[in-house]
């Protein structure tokens, strides 16, 4: 799966390039929100690296398990760490609670290394200490609710003492619902 919001990452990030070269089918996702230049770059890179691959154009919708948990609330967003740090996808905005004053452990180092993260808390890994730091930071943060945007349901592995809901992308092609989880590890 290629993301035309980050054109060229499929060539420069391992393991992104290896699966691309070995693919029989490549999905260009985010077609509804990416610019034409990014989409064309993805097409050129597929033609170069996987010329025999079938290319599927797709778009993702953002789905929320329980939108009522988010409406009119002060929200802490927890997102996939690699997406926020070296994946170069930054999100943020009004209504989001900045986790930095409440951070503990190695999460503090992550924000020192990647200060551009902004007001989103990265899940930097799922080892014992990383999970403890994440749980403590989430529970310390003064917010009304927590939005979980990680590939794994954090409720399965840590105790969150605030209302929370999961958000995720559903890849859609021709009206069909295709569940695709992509976790870029670079």
| Per-residue confidence (pLDDT) for residue 50, from 0 to 100 | 93
**Global pTM value:** 0.69
Q: Are residues 71 and 161 in the same domain?
A: yes
Dist. CA 92–CA 64, nearest whole Å: 17
Is pLDDT above 80 for 93? no
For residue 105, tell me if it sits in a domain: yes
* N-terminal to C-terminal alpha carbon distance within the chain: 15
Is 106 inside any structural domain? Answer: yes
**Statement to judge: residues 100 and 153 lie in one domain:** yes
- Taking alpha carbons only, the member of 118, 89, 79 closest to residue 29 is 89
pLDDT of residue 176 exceeding 50, the answer is no
Query: Quick one: which of 81, 86, 162 has its CA closest to 127?
Result: 81
Confidence of residue 36 (pLDDT cuts 50, 70, 90): very high
Higher pLDDT, residue 181 or 4: 4
| Residue at 36 is within a domain | yes
Same domain, 129 and 100: yes
One domain, residues 107 and 51: no
pLDDT exceeds cutoff 50 at 84 = no
Q: What is the mean pLDDT of the chain?
A: 81
Beta pairing, strands 75-80 & 145-149: parallel
Rounded CA-CA distance 167/12 in Å is 28
Model confidence pLDDT, tens digit, residues 118-134: 888 988 888 999 999 99
Which of the given ranges, 5-9, 86-90, 148-152, 154-158, has the highest pLDDT on average? 154-158
Transcribe 34-99 into DSSP letters.
S-HHHHHHHHHHHHHH-TT-EEEE-EEEEEES-GGGTTTS-EEEEEEHHHHTTT------TTBPP-
Same domain, 83 and 151: yes
Task: Identify whether 44 is part of a domain.
Answer: yes
Looking at the structure, tell me whether residues 19 and 82 fall in a common domain: no
pLDDT at 89: 45
- Are 79 and 162 in a shared domain? yes
Tell me the pLDDT tens digit for each residue of 133-170: 999 999 999 999 999 988 888 999 999 999 999 987 77
Among the ranges given (29-38, 60-69, 165-174), the one the predictor scored with the smallest mean pLDDT: 165-174
Asked if 18 and 109 sit in the same domain, the reply is no
**86 in the same domain as 45:** no
- Going by pLDDT thresholds of 50, 70 and 90, the confidence category of residue 7 is confident
pLDDT above 80: residue 112: yes
Query: In terms of domains, do 43 and 73 share one?
Result: no
**Final residue belonging to a domain, choices 32, 57, 82:** 57
Among residues 38, 57, 76, the one where a domain terminates is 57
Higher pLDDT residue, 3 or 163?
163
Query: Domain tally for the chain?
Result: 2
Domain assignment of residue 99, given as a range: 64-168
Q: Is residue 99 part of a domain?
A: yes
Element (H, E) at 164: strand 164-173
Does 158 lie in the same domain as 72?
yes
Same domain membership, residue 50 and residue 24: yes
């Amino acid at each position: 799966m290629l993301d035309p919001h980050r054109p060229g990452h499929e060539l420069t990030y391992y393991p992104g390039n290896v699966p691309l070269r070995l693919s029989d089918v490549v999905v260009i996702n985010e077609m509804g929100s990416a610019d034409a230049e990014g989409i064309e770059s993805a097409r050129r890179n597929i033609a170069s690296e996987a010329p025999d691959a079938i290319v599927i154009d797709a778009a993702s919708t953002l789905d929320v398990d329980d939108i009522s948990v988010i409406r009119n609330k002060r929200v802490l967003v927890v997102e996939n760490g690699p997406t926020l740090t070296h994946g170069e996808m930054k999100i943020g905005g009004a209504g989001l609670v900045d986790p930095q004053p409440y951070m503990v452990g190695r999460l503090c180092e992550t924000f020192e290394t990647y200060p551009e993260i902004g007001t989103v808390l990265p899940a930097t890994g799922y080892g014992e200490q990383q999970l403890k730091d994440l749980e403590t930071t989430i529970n310390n943060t003064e917010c009304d609710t927590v939005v979980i945007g990680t590939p794994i349901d954090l409720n399965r592995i840590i105790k969150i003492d605030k209302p929370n809901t999961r958000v995720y992308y559903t890849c859609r092609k021709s009206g069909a619902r295709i569940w695709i989880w992509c976790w870029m590890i670079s």
